[in-house]
Structure 1
Amino acid sequence: MTTPHPMPGALPPNGGCPHGPASSTTVPAGHLAIHGPEFSANPHAIYNQLRALGPIAPCEIAPGVYGYVTTTYRSALYLLRNTPEVFAKDPRHWLALRDGHVPADSPAREMMQPRQSALWLDGEDHGRLRGAITDSLGWVDTHALAATVARIADQLLDRISTRGRADLVAHFADPLPMQVLIEMFGCPSDLGQVIVNSVAKLFDTTQDSARTNADLESACLAVARLKRDQPAADVASWLVHHPARLSDDEIVQQILLVVGAGTVPSTNLIANSLLLLITDDQYSGDLHTGVRPVADALDHVLWEDPPVSNYCPLYARYQHTYEGIRLPAGVPILVSFAAANSDPALGKHSQRRAGNRAHLAFSAGIRSCPAPGLARVITETAIERVLDRLPDLALEVPVSRLTRRPGTFHSGWTNLPVTFPAAAPSATHSYGVSR
């Protein structure tokens, strides 16, 4: 099934391509774009076309940036379970990037370039940095976190409850994860704002990515230096003072990683779930009568519309064949969580997906999300506060008039305009027991 080179651990030489001689500028034949207006308007139509090409299909990741993407549940798991032995995560294996053929202003470059981050390293370096992240997140008190989310949610809802209409993305789903992560990391508000706004721009892949990345790293470095001098009971301090003894650059990249994973994806998950609850009687009716919990709606969304749709780029260490598809070394292969979860081979039994967490929305294997439980605490608590505070929610426009956020890597909505009976802000709230 495989034909390894003598030194599979080394950076790959130019390997064979299934469509012709290999080089760092090889453009896979028959590629389909997984970016742009057509893709954003109907990504599953593109996934179906890609799936018809094979379990791993050639694609254009961003303008002028080419690679492959998994199209089935089985192929996604195969890649995730065979890293780092067969597929490396380190972007230094990316031949086109190494040889200067990825445009300097490409949004894909900023989302996929080498960083001293657990997300991008293999072997012992990955284990050391991931251990620091999982330990630091593991020290978060989930009861205190739920209380923090509820408090922030109520503050945001107090601002819109008297109006009778709101955009639940701009007024709620966007700012809530940002404010929660700022508190979790003990960030001063000005630095926290820069960090989260920059992460959002990188995910959208339509902004000035190089400038955005520079702003982001500068703000994270300021947080790291602050926590070295003034540690507190927060995630940033725990990272800075972890026994793994991370350097300033490593701390910057781990903060960037956790904040990036905890904000934009959480925004998408909250908004995607609220849209389901507003428009699907199967869920909204049962949730309001107490028959079905919010967790079931989240499970449905994590299967049907995962907030991170295509990511986790991997690189074959040597020319590799998977189910008849020849994969050249050094060409990025994105794992499509959205295509995997919608794979027709899994069957279409949406009613059985409540409580079924075999989806790949949180990835799998050694690259899985280090804190899916915290993500669920944040999103479930936020959604529950909306349902409690804004009864009788209705979408203000037809679903067909909603637009998806642009980008290759994530799936969410630009806005979610709703109406509801206006009510006075609640005077008091109870948020449970903190640490």
Structure 2
Amino acid sequence: MTDQTLNGPDAPRGCPVAHAGADLARLYGPEVSTDPHAVYERLRKEHGSVAPVLLEGDVPAWLVLGYRDNRRVLDNPRQFSRDARIWRDWLDGRVAETSPLIPMIGWRPDCISQDGEPHRRLRGAVTDGLYAASSRGVRRHATHFANKLIDAFVDDGEADLVAGYAEYLPMLVLTRILGLPAAEGRSLVESCAQVLKGGEQALAHNDRIIEILGELAERKRLEPGSDFTTALLEHPAGLDPEEVVSHLRLVLLAAHTTTSNLLARVLQLVLTDASRLAGLVSGQLNITAVVEEVMWNSPPLAVLPGRFAATDLELGGHHIQEGDLLILGLAPGNADPEVRPDPEVSVQGNQSHLAFSAGPHECPGQSIGQSIIEIGVDVLLHRLPGLRLSVPPEDLGSTGSTWESRLDSLPVEFPV
């Protein structure tokens, strides 16, 4: 079958296999960078709950926009596999090994790249390691590093809470959990951001992360400690060296990216709403309720990679072919008018959002991330009484990519 046939009038309805000249929405570039939500809603109007899109390099995919369709994909690994080795465009040579999509979508020997028993074996090691780490003082580490970060700007009377706080607090806590030196963790912030951003530097930064974590694993083989790395090395599941490094990378990327983004969005919501700020300071409002609201309205990963159709099937009125790539629209799924006809209605107490994914691959470290956020907000508000935005709320901007929308800055001022 030729590209011309696939893109011509005889193409199956909604077929995402598209190349030069195809008129499909691109889930990257200027429009997504400035207003991804407008892109999602336009696609929903044009295609329904599932839309054909192009990813970076004009790689075709299906973007799942509907809440119920997202849950169907996430809950059914037999129909929608996480194993990229069945990705048809990869098998047919249409995706280069140097594609910036590979760090996010390509197969790795980790638990999120596999299903069934291999997944259960590896996820068990990760879950056990994270449980052990969370019982060894995550909240204490978060308190320590939150205070250290605040110490750096407390005498200035002003700060950018994205660049000076939210971007670094989760990574510094992760250095303790993984067993990395704090200085090394700081340098990894940029590399994690570049992998999510995509572009020419994504692969180089991904390689740098793997190199640093490979060296960490070697050190911990010789000098075990009370950390996640040692827990993986010593787990009864018997992870090989490549599996250990792959899971260190997975936890580092997933935990830092989602937690830093979520922390920034929680702080944005608190500082742009005087009643929420007053409620938190007085103790009348629980920070968990604010975090829950943000997870509905601004999930830290807007789009989650990726699933692959294990067979030909129908989804959202479209014919999905075996080997097609599907990416999960967590942000548009949370905003689906079929489940949230009035987005202004309170979601307090409703934990059925998609922010942490769902099904067998649901995020196993969400309690750690939530602890870091709760401590980060609590310490900040108590250390800096009188904290307020130094710009109008409408001046706060975000930059989107295929996978996320990050707050650019959060300038604040406070009495010294």
- State the TM-score, normalized to the length of structure 2: 0.92
The separation in 2 between residues aligned to 1:174 and 1:74, in whole angstroms, is 32
Could you say if the C-alpha distance between residues 293 and 18 of structure 1 is closer, same or farther in structure 2, counting changes exceeding 3 Å? farther
SS in 2 for 1:299: helix
The separation in 1 between residues aligned to 2:209 and 2:72, in whole angstroms, is 33
Task: Name the counterpart of 1:127.
Answer: 120
Paired amino acid for 2:273:
D
Task: Name the counterpart of 1:265.
Answer: 258
Task: Report the alpha carbon displacement of residue 24 of structure 1 after superposing the two structures with TM.
Answer: 9.6
Select which of 114, 117, 125 maps to 2:107. Answer: 114
Paired amino acid for 1:64:
D
Paired amino acid for 1:59:
V
Could you say if the C-alpha distance between residues 392 and 35 of structure 1 is closer, same or farther in structure 2, counting changes exceeding 3 Å? farther
The separation in 2 between residues aligned to 1:206 and 1:396, in whole angstroms, is 33
Select which of 379, 384, 388 maps to 1:385. Answer: 379
The separation in 1 between residues aligned to 2:398 and 2:347, in whole angstroms, is 24
Task: Name the counterpart of 1:217.
Answer: 210
Select which of 265, 270, 274 maps to 1:281. Answer: 274
Paired amino acid for 1:33:
R
Paired amino acid for 1:270:
L
Task: Name the counterpart of 2:198.
Answer: 205
Task: Report the alpha carbon displacement of residue 118 of structure 1 after superposing the two structures with TM.
Answer: 0.8
Paired amino acid for 2:346:
R
Could you say if the C-alpha distance between residues 143 and 214 of structure 1 is closer, same or farther in structure 2, counting changes exceeding 3 Å? closer
SS in 2 for 1:352: coil
Matches for 1:353-368 after TM superposition, within 5 Å: 353-368=347-362
Task: Name the counterpart of 1:415.
Answer: 409
Paired amino acid for 1:240:
L
Matches for 1:80-91 after TM superposition, within 5 Å: 80-83=74-77, 85-91=78-84
The separation in 1 between residues aligned to 2:9 and 2:85, in whole angstroms, is 23
Could you say if the C-alpha distance between residues 420 and 177 of structure 1 is closer, same or farther in structure 2, counting changes exceeding 3 Å? same
Task: Report the alpha carbon displacement of residue 385 of structure 1 after superposing the two structures with TM.
Answer: 1.0
SS in 1 for 2:328: strand
Alignment partner of 1:78 is 2:54: no
Task: Name the counterpart of 1:236.
Answer: 229
Task: Name the counterpart of 2:174.
Answer: 181
Task: Name the counterpart of 2:3.
Answer: none
- Kept in 1, the 8 Å contact 2:79–2:310? The answer is yes
Paired amino acid for 2:103:
E
Aligned structure 1 segments of 4 or more residues deviating by more than 6 angstroms: 16-19
Could you say if the C-alpha distance between residues 400 and 205 of structure 1 is closer, same or farther in structure 2, counting changes exceeding 3 Å? farther
Could you say if the C-alpha distance between residues 289 and 190 of structure 1 is closer, same or farther in structure 2, counting changes exceeding 3 Å? closer
Paired amino acid for 1:208:
Q
Could you say if the C-alpha distance between residues 163 and 329 of structure 1 is closer, same or farther in structure 2, counting changes exceeding 3 Å? same
Select which of 359, 363, 370 maps to 2:364. Answer: 370
The separation in 2 between residues aligned to 1:18 and 1:244, in whole angstroms, is 50
SS in 2 for 1:405: strand
Task: Report the alpha carbon displacement of residue 419 of structure 1 after superposing the two structures with TM.
Answer: 1.4
- Kept in 2, the 8 Å contact 1:315–1:330? The answer is yes
Paired amino acid for 2:228:
V
Task: Report the alpha carbon displacement of residue 241 of structure 1 after superposing the two structures with TM.
Answer: 0.8
The separation in 1 between residues aligned to 2:27 and 2:275, in whole angstroms, is 31
Task: Name the counterpart of 2:289.
Answer: 296
User: Per-residue CA shift, 1:260-292, capped at 9, x if unaligned?
Assistant: 111111110010000000002342232233221
Could you say if the C-alpha distance between residues 25 and 335 of structure 1 is closer, same or farther in structure 2, counting changes exceeding 3 Å? closer
Task: Name the counterpart of 2:388.
Answer: 394
- Kept in 2, the 8 Å contact 1:64–1:103? The answer is no
- Kept in 2, the 8 Å contact 1:316–1:331? The answer is yes
- Kept in 2, the 8 Å contact 1:194–1:215? The answer is no
Structure 2, unaligned runs of 5 or more: 1-5
Matches for 1:145-164 after TM superposition, within 5 Å: 145-164=138-157
User: Per-residue CA shift, 1:305-349, capped at 9, x if unaligned?
Assistant: 000110131111121112421112212110111011111112225
Greater alpha carbon shift after TM alignment, 278-287 vs 48-57: 278-287
- Kept in 2, the 8 Å contact 1:24–1:99? The answer is no
Task: Name the counterpart of 1:4.
Answer: none
The separation in 2 between residues aligned to 1:127 and 1:56, in whole angstroms, is 29
Task: Report the alpha carbon displacement of residue 43 of structure 1 after superposing the two structures with TM.
Answer: 1.6
Could you say if the C-alpha distance between residues 18 and 49 of structure 1 is closer, same or farther in structure 2, counting changes exceeding 3 Å? farther
Alignment partner of 1:62 is 2:53: no
SS in 2 for 1:263: helix
How high is the sequence identity, in percent, across the aligned residues? 32
Task: Report the alpha carbon displacement of residue 21 of structure 1 after superposing the two structures with TM.
Answer: 4.7
Matches for 1:30-49 after TM superposition, within 5 Å: 30-49=23-42
The separation in 2 between residues aligned to 1:375 and 1:207, in whole angstroms, is 29
Task: Report the alpha carbon displacement of residue 92 of structure 1 after superposing the two structures with TM.
Answer: 1.1
SS in 1 for 2:338: helix
User: Per-residue CA shift, 1:86-105, capped at 9, x if unaligned?
Assistant: 11111111122222222444
- Kept in 1, the 8 Å contact 2:16–2:62? The answer is no
Could you say if the C-alpha distance between residues 375 and 57 of structure 1 is closer, same or farther in structure 2, counting changes exceeding 3 Å? same
